[in-house]
Amino acid sequence: MKYRLQSMLSALAPTLSLMVIALIIIVSPVKADYRQHPSAVAVINTLVDKHGFSVAQVNAVLKQAETEQRILDSMTNAAEKTKTWTAYRSSFLSPFRITKGAEFLVAHKSTFDQVEQEYGVPREIITAILGVETNYGGYTGKTRVLNALSTLAFEHPRRSRFFTSELIEYIVLCREQQWDASEQLGSYAGAMGMSQFMPSNYRRLAVDGDGDGDIDLFEPVDAIHSIANYFIHHGWQNAQPVTSRVAVRQDFDVALIGRGLKPNHSVARLAEGGFYPQDKMSPSVKARVIRFHDADGDEFWFGYQNFYAISRYNPRSKYAMAVYQLSLAIEKQAKDNPQVSS
């Protein structure tokens, strides 16, 4: 028996070796030299004409970029696309993440006191963003940002325009921050720091919260201020609702659901179509019907302007709802902790 097993393994060895080699090729970055890519012309011209780079400087950066197939695979298999709402929610509203969120509120109470007064964005919402994005800074990504943005700019036709713009912004940001473009690490989509800002947001919306003259989103004070500023930029309304659970009439008007997350109908109009918020709302307030399909039935919600503001971080209803519900769970946990005051 032992001899036969050894013989079988020996026979399979060449095949197994080829499979291992193929797997290494698939998962390993591949040197691309994007200087020669047809789409690189626009990148080079923009950086030279609008930002004062030399052609040689841009080529030196693009030469270092590598193609990573796993980045393209991650874009295709994002959790928002593949998980049910129940599974998605459970992955973020874990006891560990809720407890860590409450602890984060305690650790940064003075910063949150200042930020709430200045921006009017609740500390629990900011903390939930940090929890969902990076587990409160515990994991900010291990992908080379240059690889992520180059791969998606040059190898992902559907999102090429967006990521080409972000690649340009990243190269400018590296000059501004005096970073080596080949060394910065982030998400598979090129987001960076505790707050996971894309390069354009890092350049325009990041804030020097601690006043040390340096904007560093890998540090909590700057990250907290910057998230608050991001929400204000995207229309956060202080002391206004985020969502309401909705009861529906049996013959509700499906046409009122539509696509997108920006509020598009008044509560009164939605009530005419068979959608009734479970919270008391002014009939004139605008909302968007959010529908979650799941194995045990559908859930209906109204998303208001603040729900839309959360979704500017990630334009998926599951994401925005997970952030909001995590914020509520963190708030409840914090109230049970006498060290946290509102």
Predicted confidence at residue 226, as pLDDT, reads 98
Q: How far apart are CA 37 and CA 215, in angstroms?
A: 33
Residue 178 near residue 60, CB atoms below 8 Å: no
Residue 127 lies in a domain: no
Residue 280 lies in a domain: yes
What is the DSSP secondary-structure string of 304-327?
-HHHHHHHTTS--HHHHHHHHHHH
Residue 278 near residue 245, CB atoms below 8 Å: yes
Count of the separate structural domains present in the chain: 2
Predicted confidence at residue 324, as pLDDT, reads 98
Residue 207 lies in a domain: no
- Give CA 199 to chain center in angstroms: 13
Length of the chain: 342
Predicted confidence at residue 295, as pLDDT, reads 76
Of the three residues 131, 165, 191, the one that is the final residue of a domain is: 191
Could you list the active site residues? Answer: 133
Q: How many CB atoms lie within 10 A of CB 175?
A: 16
Full residue range of the structural domain in which residue 62 is found? 34-76+141-191
Q: What does the angle CA 247 – CA 253 – CA 256 come to, to the nearest 5 degrees?
A: 95
Nearest alpha-carbon partner for 100 in 339, 301, 308, 330: 330
- Please tell me whether residues 38 and 187 are part of one structural domain: yes
Residue 336 lies in a domain: no
Residue 121 near residue 228, CB atoms below 8 Å: yes
Residue 236 lies in a domain: no
pLDDT digits (tens, 9 = 90+) for 212-245: 999 999 999 999 999 999 999 999 999 999 999 9
In this structure, what CATH number is given to the domain that contains residue 65? 1.10.8.350
- Please tell me whether residues 72 and 146 are part of one structural domain: yes
Residue 232 near residue 125, CB atoms below 8 Å: no
* pTM for the whole structure: 0.88
10-residue stretch averages of pLDDT, the chain, 342 residues long: 48 49 50 85 97 97 94 81 86 95 97 98 98 97 97 91 97 97 96 98 98 96 98 97 97 94 97 97 97 88 98 95 98 80 46
Residue 8 lies in a domain: no
- Please tell me whether residues 149 and 278 are part of one structural domain: no
Q: How far apart are CA 130 and CA 138, in angstroms?
A: 10
Of the three residues 127, 158, 191, the one that is the final residue of a domain is: 191
Predicted confidence at residue 157, as pLDDT, reads 83
- Please tell me whether residues 247 and 150 are part of one structural domain: no
Predicted confidence at residue 293, as pLDDT, reads 87
- Please tell me whether residues 298 and 166 are part of one structural domain: no
Of the three residues 131, 159, 191, the one that is the final residue of a domain is: 191
- Please tell me whether residues 70 and 163 are part of one structural domain: yes
Residue 323 lies in a domain: no
Helices (H), the chain: 2-27, 40-51, 55-62, 69-76, 79-82, 85-92, 95-107, 109-119, 123-134, 145-155, 160-177, 199-205, 220-233, 267-272, 305-311, 317-335
Residue 130 near residue 136, CB atoms below 8 Å: yes
Q: How many CB atoms lie within 10 A of CB 115?
A: 24
Q: Quick one: which H or E segment has residue 277?
A: strand 275-277
